[in-house]
Amino acid sequence: MDLPLIYHPNYVAPLPPDHRFPMAKFKKLHKMLLEDGVAIASQFHTPEPPPLTWIEWVHDADYVQSYCNGTLDLRAQRRIGLPWSSALVNRTCTAVGGTILTAQLALKYGLACNTAGGTHHAFPGYGSGFCIFNDLAIAARCLQKLNQVQKILIVDLDVHQGDGTAFIFQNDASVFTFSMHCGVNFPGTKQQSDLDVALAEGMEDDEYLQTLAQYLPDLLSEVKPDLVLYDAGVDPHLGDRLGKLSLTDTGLFRREMQVLSTCVSLRYPVACVIGGGYAEDMNALVYRHSLLHRSASAVYRHYRL
């Protein structure tokens, strides 16, 4: 069995071409992974949207129904930052299904990667920061409800704090939330994760990776999760428009190798999502996202999963 990957063939919803959230990157990522020989077509699994009741295990039913039915008020839509469309509803729900499937495949094979996901700014009753439904939180809760896991560790290395995820699990000892992010970035009002590590603006590769190494191994030993959900946002990159950190491509690749090797070597299954990334150069952005899959493929082969 090759490394399991999740692909969303209908993931691009119609949006204004100059919108800050680059939907085109998802299909381009799939294409790059195939063209560069990182993956072959048979490795990809196509997700289905989950039942809305699964989404409502995390989100308020009124919010889920109003968003899916197109009756969400304009103020709430502006807070999300994405114009509503039925295609976007389908994309959003399929993304949630993709992260659930990624988590289930990780339990089966030890490591699996999504080509989307990481909508960590979504709260139970509203969306924010381009995030509508919190796929990480829904996947965690679904696997628990289905009796597939009990304890989950969420490792969120997106440059922005995973505030929605932190809020959702703030009183839940069965899900440990770890967010390492730029301290002076969005969101302006931070929530309290189980562990927050706020980084100084402009931090570069070595200091970043040393900081991560101070926390991750000990967290795994203390939490002993049945599953790690990893948000591998590439917006800590020095070329990111919304980032404020200064990681290079090499630094991002080293980060992915560090996270995945640390988890897999200790036999903790890892489900990965790509998280945020915002750059003028679309090809450069897609390459940065592909570093997760390139490193995952190397780790998967090395440990003969």
pLDDT along the chain (305 residues), means of 10: 81 45 80 96 95 98 97 94 92 96 98 97 97 98 98 98 98 97 94 98 98 98 98 97 96 98 98 95 96 98 89
Residue type for position 2:
D
Give me the helix-helix angle, 25-35 and 282-302, nearest 10°.
Answer: 50
The pTM score is 0.95
Instruction: Quick: pLDDT tens for 7-46.
Output: 887 654 444 443 444 567 999 999 999 999 999 999 999 9
Instruction: Quick: pLDDT tens for 141-161.
Output: 999 999 999 999 999 999 999
What length is written for the chain? 305
Q: Distance between CA 220 and CA 228 in Å, rounded?
A: 9
Q: Which residues contact 126 (CB under 8 A, 6 or more apart)?
A: 63, 76, 79, 80
Query: Active-site residues: which are they?
Result: 121
Residue spans per domain, the chain: 5-302
According to the model, what pLDDT value does residue 189 have? 93
Closest by CA position to 116, among listed 255, 243, 251, 10: 10
Closest by CA position to 155, among listed 225, 87, 207: 225
CATH class of the domain comprising 5-302:
alpha beta
Q: Per the structure block, which two tokens stand in for 43? A: 């490795």
